[in-house]
Homo-oligomer: A and B are copies of this chain.
Amino acid sequence: MAGVRSSRQAGFEKGGARLPSSFKVGVCQLKVSPQKNENLQKAKEMIMEAAGRGAHLVVLPEMFNCPYQARLFLEYAESFPEGPSVRMLAGLARARRIYVVGGSIPERAGDCVYNTSFIFGPEGELLGRHRKIHLFDVDLPGGVRVQESSTLSAGSEMTVISTDLCRLGVAVCYDIRFPELFRLMALGGAQVIAVPAAFNLTTGPAHWKITFRVRAVDNQLYLVGASPARDESSGYVAYGHSLVVGPWGEVLAEAAEGEEIIYAEVDLEKIEKVRRQLPLLQHRRDDLYELIFKQPEQK
């Protein structure tokens, strides 16, 4: 974990076990084609480039290996650990000794298909998998009609992972619409929340940036949004504008609409500073309201 180690050492006190206070995140805004192999190749190239430029955490977009169409999710679905997409991601994380939030892919598990983000660590190990909790069933102005629930099953777990870099939360796209989930991740210690997502040309201009910014402001942590590049010829046109937002709501990096990798420095001390100045989490009136994540019921 060469790159990560050097960053960690910068944060080390002599002989101590302090974690790194800052690291670089790279967000790969790739254009998704109907050819899965092409998508994997493109993802590989972009991850390699991001790692080469010093990113210790690399984030891919929602459904980076499959066009965003409900009927295609079944066709493109893979299982862990044998699917080619997850094998590639694990291999790259290990080869470059980085953390990879593998966007999302259609995951087959038994009779179900989920919209799942696999997260790999620098040994290539699976650190977690976030199955999109909130399915996107909408009928929007501009003719955007999606029914994820026609083919997908919904996840039932919140994902916050301890890594050597930070406490990392992961959500997928429509999950970001629900402030409860983000507050719960913050209360669960998340310092960075990565959100592979594919807003569209109706919701994107109206809501994308302000929603990421306010989730960051409310919870005083970093938000990373990873979108596919815009492809006007696609059945579902993604908004693009991948971004990284800091704990004061400041946009640290933002992509345009095409393929590109954006980078930003995550500084965990900034989180503490903002929380000292404006102690929102301390000022919650938990004597008056209560927000809890229930354990999913066993079936």
Q: A residues engaging B (CB < 8 A)?
A: 133-135, 137-141, 154, 156, 158, 174, 177-181, 183-184, 203, 206-207, 210-211, 213-214, 217-218, 248-250, 276-280, 283-285, 287-294, 296-297
B279 and A138 contacting across the interface, CB-CB below 8 Å = yes
B178 and A137 contacting across the interface, CB-CB below 8 Å = no
A291 and B289 contacting across the interface, CB-CB below 8 Å = yes
CB distance from A82 to the nearest CB of B (A): 29
B285 and A178 contacting across the interface, CB-CB below 8 Å = yes
Residues of B within 8 Å of A214, CB to CB, are 210-211, 213-214
A97 CA / B174 CA spacing, docked (Å) = 43
CB distance from A63 to the nearest CB of B (A): 19
> What are 7 A-B pairs with beta-carbon distances under 8 A?
A178-B280, A179-B180, A210-B213, A211-B218, A289-B291, A289-B292, A291-B291
A180 and B178 contacting across the interface, CB-CB below 8 Å = no
B217 and A276 contacting across the interface, CB-CB below 8 Å = no
From the candidates B278, B292, B294, name the one contacting A138 in the complex (CB within 8 A): B278
CB distance from A173 to the nearest CB of B (A): 12
Residues of B within 8 Å of A141, CB to CB, are 277
CB distance from A171 to the nearest CB of B (A): 12
Residues of B within 8 Å of A135, CB to CB, are 283
B139 and A289 contacting across the interface, CB-CB below 8 Å = no
CB distance from A15 to the nearest CB of B (A): 34
From the candidates B179, B217, B218, B289, name the one contacting A293 in the complex (CB within 8 A): B289
From the candidates B177, B203, B277, B288, name the one contacting A133 in the complex (CB within 8 A): B288
CB distance from A124 to the nearest CB of B (A): 30
Residues of B within 8 Å of A158, CB to CB, are 288
A133 CA / B288 CA spacing, docked (Å) = 9
Residues of B within 8 Å of A177, CB to CB, are 218, 280, 283
A133 CA / B287 CA spacing, docked (Å) = 11
A154 CA / B285 CA spacing, docked (Å) = 10
A96 CA / B24 CA spacing, docked (Å) = 59
From the candidates B137, B250, B293, B296, name the one contacting A283 in the complex (CB within 8 A): B137
B211 and A207 contacting across the interface, CB-CB below 8 Å = no
CB distance from A282 to the nearest CB of B (A): 9
B218 and A277 contacting across the interface, CB-CB below 8 Å = no
A277 CA / B137 CA spacing, docked (Å) = 9
A178 CA / B287 CA spacing, docked (Å) = 14
